[in-house]
Structure 1
C-alpha cells in the first residue's frame, strides 16, 4: 500500500456511507415532509443553545451559507421555522423553530432513536467511539487546513 491509500479508502467509504445515511434519513422522515437535508437543518436549529442566523447554523454544520439559506427558506415555506429580527445584525435574521417545527422535529427524533439502536446492534461500543474519534480528528484537521488556506494571500 502506498502512503495515503488507507486514508483514501476511508474517504471513499465515508462518501458511500454518507449516501446510505441520506437515503435512510429520507425514508425515515419522508412522510413528515422532510428530507435528510431539511432534517439536518431543522435539527441544527433545534439543538442550538440560542437563536442563530443562517451563517452560524451553516458553520456548525460544515455547510455553505447559501445551501443552508435555501433549505431554511424551504422550511419557512413549510411552516417549520420562522425568521426573526437579529439585534446584532440588521440583515442576518435569526432562525427559530415554530411550534409545528418543534412537533415535527420531535417526531423525527423519536423515529431516529430506535433506528440508531437497531443499526448499532452487535457493533462494539468501543469501536464506534474509536471511529467517531478518528472522524472527528480528520474533520478538525480539514477545518484547520481550510482556515489556514483562507489566511494565505492570493
Structure 2
C-alpha cells in the first residue's frame, strides 16, 4: 500500500470517527434532555458515579480538557446536581461527586440508554458490538502512543491567533 492510500485511509477513518462522534453527541443530547441534562453534563456526572474525582481526573477519563470539565462541574454544583468535597491528596483540586438529585437525573436516562443498546445489538449483533469496541480501543491506544511522542505546537498567545488573510 502506498503513501497516498495510507493517507486516504487516515482521512476516511478520521471523517468516520468525527461523524460517529457527532451521532453519539446527538443521541446523548436526546437521551439527556428529558432528565434536565446536556450530553456534557451527563458525561461529567457519569465519570464520578463510582468515585469522586478532580476535574483533571475527569478530563483524563473522558478525553476532555480540564478547563471544559471545570466549567461543566461548576454548573452542575450550581444546579445542585453535584458537589465539591475536599481532596486529601490536593488542597486546591476539589473532588466532584454527584448529589442525590444528580444520581436521579442519571437514572432517568437509563431506560433510553438501554433501548439504544438493545437497538444497536439488534443492528450489529453482540459479537459485532464487541468487535467495534475492540477496534475503537485499538485505534485509541495507537493514537495515544503516537500523540504522546508527537511534537506539541507552540502554546503562546500568538500561536492561538488566527492568521489574517
TM-score, structure 1 as length reference: 0.88
For residues 87-116 of structure 1, the C-alpha deviation after alignment (integer angstroms, 9 at most, x for no partner) is 111100000110111111111123211122
* Equivalence for 1:39: 42
Larger radius of gyration: 2
Deviation at 1:125, TM superposition (A): 2.4
* Aligned equivalents of 2:151, 2:56: Cα separation in 1: 17
Question: Once structures 1 and 2 are overlaid, which stretch shifts more, 77-86 or 108-117?
Answer: 108-117
For residues 22-57 of structure 1, the C-alpha deviation after alignment (integer angstroms, 9 at most, x for no partner) is 11111122122111111111111114xx32111111
Q: Which of 17, 24, 27 is the aligned partner of 2:27?
A: 24
* Aligned equivalents of 1:7, 1:149: Cα separation in 2: 16
* Aligned equivalents of 2:76, 2:70: Cα separation in 1: 10
Deviation at 1:150, TM superposition (A): 7.0
Matches within 5 A, 1:85-124: 85-124=86-125
Matches within 5 A, 1:127-142: 127-142=128-143
* Aligned equivalents of 2:30, 2:111: Cα separation in 1: 14
- The CA RMSD over aligned residues, in Å, is 1.8
TM-score, structure 2 as length reference: 0.82
Q: Which of 10, 22, 26 is the aligned partner of 1:7?
A: 10
* Structure 2 stretches lacking a partner, 5+ long: 153-165
Contact 2:82-2:98 within 8 A present in 1 as well: yes
4+ runs deviating over 6 angstroms:
none
* Aligned equivalents of 2:133, 2:79: Cα separation in 1: 34
